[in-house]
Structure 1
Amino acid sequence: MAIASTNSTSTAALPGLSVNTVLMVLIAGAAGTLAFDLWGKAIAPLLGLGGLAPVGLARGFLGALGLPNSGAWGNVMHLFLVGAIAYPVGWLFIARPILAKVMPGLHWSIASALYGVGLWVFAIGFIAWVAGNPAFLGFTRITWVALAGHVIYGVVAAATIVHLERRAA
């Protein structure tokens, strides 16, 4: 079995917009979000590292924009709009093609971990700040739990996409 790098034809080219692509995005996003939440809400707290509160962060962000920010809207934002759609779309259509051009031959697992770091910078560096928190949540213990969670998300979502692409080929 060949190892997929970010510059192989199946991973560097932009996927066509189809029902299969939409399903792949949703499945990869669901898998990544499940892994993120399992880490941030169960495993990290069991290890005494603290727990993530992505719904609270989403609510703060929505409120800062003057949008409805109930718990339900926070869940819609975290679980669906960001986790199931925006982040996997960002991987497929932005990060993966750019990384394939900038660092050809980089294995998808390393590329997706770098993508996770980028997600962390965006979420904990920028979104947390807009929501009224210190950027990077003041570099407390939860900052590093969030870094691990975003890297886990990136790798799991990308692994799901790689798996689904290989099955389709």
Structure 2
Amino acid sequence: MMMTPTDRIAVGPLMLPSLSLRTLWTMIVAGSVATVAFDFFGQALSPMLGFANLAPVPLATQSWQVLFGEAYAPGGHLMHYVAGLVAYPLGWMLLARPIAERVAPQLHWFVAATAYGVLLWVFALYIMAHLVAGNPAFLGFTGITWVALVGHVLFAWVAAAVDVARRP
């Protein structure tokens, strides 16, 4: 389903969604539903199936401590939810989807979302967990590493599906 030209603005070679109430609402809905799916999978379903339990808030709290000099659990919650509700859905809507549409216009959104989920995983477990918080890269490739991969891809699928469903 393609957007009409009036629903997008050209920024260089990319066609981005226009800044509108609908775009902002899509971002919030996509981020909310995707964050619930991520947390449900990583903190309930995965441990129930005998796999690792994701702990995004403690990791975000570690990052907060490195960035601001003190461990502050509310700051970790804030970072987790701002990433899930705003940053990651915006990354899909303003970067991943437009780039995928430009580079490979015939590529199904599901494939592009899978690649975006892997990039989110690299960002979370290499950049944030390793470079910022000082943990081993990809948390040492333990069980949590692979649950985090599935969780981030699931996040991207859900956020992208909401975005696609809400396109005019």
- The answer to whether TM tops 0.5 is yes
Task: Name the counterpart of 1:149.
Answer: 151
Amino acid at match of 1:13: M
2: CA distance, partners of 1:27 / 1:34:
11
Paired-residue identity, %: 48
Q: How does 1:63-82 map to 2 (within 5 A)?
A: 63-66=65-68, 69-79=71-81, 81-82=82-83
CA distance in 1: counterparts of 2:159 and 2:128, whole angstroms: 21
Matches within 5 A, 1:29-68: 29-66=31-68
What's 1:17 paired with? 19
Q: In the alignment, is residue 97 of structure 1 matched against residue 59 of structure 2? A: no
* 2-structure distance, mates of 1:33, 1:144: 18
**Structure 1 stretches of at least 4 aligned residues deviating more than 6 Å after TM superposition:** none
Which residue in 2 is equivalent to 1:111? 112
Cα offsets for 1:14-55 (capped at 9, x unmatched): 111111111110110001100000000000000111100000
In structure 1, how many angstroms separate the alpha carbons of the residues matched to 2:69 and 2:92?
Answer: 27
Describe the SS at the equivalent of 1:17. coil
Runs of at least 5 residues in structure 1 that lack an aligned partner in the other structure: none
- C-alpha distance in structure 2 between counterparts of 1:67 and 1:98, whole Å: 36
TM-score (norm 1): 0.89
- Code of the aligned partner of 2:105: P
Q: What TM-score, normalized to structure 2?
A: 0.89
Q: Distance in 1 between matches of 2:156 and 2:125?
A: 15
**Aligned equivalent of 1:132:** 134
Secondary structure of 1:14 counterpart = strand
CA shift for structure 1 position 13: 2.9
CA RMSD of aligned residues (A): 1.5
In proportion to residue count, which structure has more strand? 2
Residues matched between the structures, number: 159
C-alpha displacement of 1:104: 2.0
Paired position in structure 2 for 1:26: 28
